[in-house]
Structure 1
Amino acid sequence: MSFQCRQFYLKDDRCAMKVSTDSLLLGSWVAVEPTTSCILDVGTGCGILALMMAQRTAEQAQIEAIELDAEAVQQAQENIVASPWPAKVQCTQADCFAWQPQQPVDLIVCNPPYFTAHLASQQEQRRLARQGTQPLTAWLARMTTWLSPQGRIAWILPLSMETRLEAPSELSLRRRCEVATVVGKPAKLVLLEWTNETVECRHESLSIRTADGDYANEFRQLTSAFYLAGEHQTS
């Protein structure tokens, strides 16, 4: 499989989890401040979030991506080399519960392995990508230790799993966006952005498609820097 964005091209055939709307939503929605210079993508897969951050940041920004699966790391590295930002993004094979960044991180983006309620896949690579080795609360607590004083963490999750997630006391929820697959239908996903600073949460909502099946205007506008004419291009 492959995925063509406006400024870069991805292959994901050797990755357990393929390019999905989830990552495209998160990479488009998360706030990227002008002062954001150190970004981390945890569980990068084929590298899509890391490359989205590379497209959205200043030339001097540095993006690091970590991934547990060796085949996904190799494919992400190939996608990075083929992109316009090979010197800006670095991908490393690592377990986030053993790895440590060399400096505090301004922004962490993650599409975490949240299929913990599902039966384990018989294929180990896909099982780890879908379910991980630790509960989500442990993932969030681990990432919190890497943040700079004004650092932020952004995730996407099924709405049903939000109540199971206990954020560390030092984090404040900065933004929250409920995502419905179709206009007028109940939300199924939630985008979350936490910060080290004490802030009041901004609540948002978004629909991906209209009742007719077309992409909703709000979704097209949000992802316009990445989607080609608002369409998911695969081959």
Structure 2
Amino acid sequence: MSNKPFKFKQFSIDQDRCAMKIGTDGVLLGAWSSLEHHPESILDIGTGTGLIALMLAQRSDAELIDALEIEENAYEQAVENFEKSDWGDRLFCYHAGFDEFVEEMQDEEEYDLIISNPPFYSEDYKSGIENRDQARFADALPLEELIKGASLLLSEKGHFDIIIPFTEETKGIELAKKNRLFPVRITRVKGTENSPIKRSLISFGFENVEPEIDELILEISRHNYTEDFKELVKDFYLNL
């Protein structure tokens, strides 16, 4: 994976000091997340390079966009990426663990949109590279802790949006229900029409409604992208 800056249509991201580089999951979530409820405050948990926070700054008029990153190198890089963007005055990154952030902020701040592309590899295998393992293994931020914390920081009409492996979808929904959160919208993502479902994009809210469920296919063939995918990410990728 390249350490070169990743150029989008309206911003560029340096990623040479981040363990986890720009990937399709983050771009999907940042483009998919609904802004129809006009969030005034947004929180991106585990921001990494700052990608999703920057995408939401481009897409929204939210005056407050906070990001949270525990890994020091990624935190510093996210701050730099925020500062060189057109929206640096609306973006702020905290260097802290999620548990301490929740403890500090739950009586101080509510967010209308909370979003996270969380670490989700729960296998026993570790790469041996500490910051990469921290960025990508679920024991760094268990799904249960993420959902519970988000429920404490979310405004009553707010949404909590995540992307997780499809195999974790049922577990995620059950954990959310324990914290008064219910799926409002679910999009299941497949690489191609004949490949298995790989990811679930889920938007949770406090209202228990029948969720909208649909499917997104990314490619017709290698690098031949579907119209649905191109329409979703057209405001970001340079060559789509």
Q: Shared fold by TM > 0.5?
A: yes
Pairing of 1:109-128 with structure 2 (within 5 A):
109-128=115-134
In 1: Cα distance, 2:37 partner to 2:159 partner: 14
- Equivalent in the alignment of 1:189: 199
Which runs of at least 4 in structure 1 moved beyond 3 Å after TM superposition? none
In 2: Cα distance, 1:87 partner to 1:184 partner: 45
| Greater relative contact order structure (CA < 8 Å, 6+ sep) | 1
In 1: Cα distance, 2:46 partner to 2:196 partner: 28
Pairing of 1:48-63 with structure 2 (within 5 A):
48-58=51-61, 60-63=62-65
Question: Which runs of 5 or more residues in structure 2 are unaligned?
Answer: none
Aligned residues: 229
Residue number among 69, 86, 89 corresponding to 1:87 in the alignment: 89
In 2: Cα distance, 1:87 partner to 1:168 partner: 36
> 2:80 is paired with a residue of what secondary structure?
helix
* Paired letter, 2:131: Q
> 1:18 is paired with a residue of what secondary structure?
coil
User: TM (normalized to structure 2)?
Assistant: 0.91
Contact 2:115 2:162 in 1 (8 A): yes
User: TM (normalized to structure 1)?
Assistant: 0.93
1:198, distance to aligned residue in structure 2 (A): 2.4
- Equivalent in the alignment of 2:24: 21
- Equivalent in the alignment of 2:38: 35
Does the C-alpha gap of structure 1 residues 186 and 38 become closer, same or farther in structure 2, counting only changes over 3 Å?
same
Q: Going by fraction, where is helix more abundant, 1 or 2? A: 2
Identity over aligned pairs, percent: 34
Contact 2:117 2:162 in 1 (8 A): yes
- Equivalent in the alignment of 1:4: 7
Farther-moved stretch of structure 1 (37-46 vs 213-222):
213-222
- Equivalent in the alignment of 2:78: 76
Farther-moved stretch of structure 1 (176-185 vs 35-44):
176-185
1:33, distance to aligned residue in structure 2 (A): 2.6
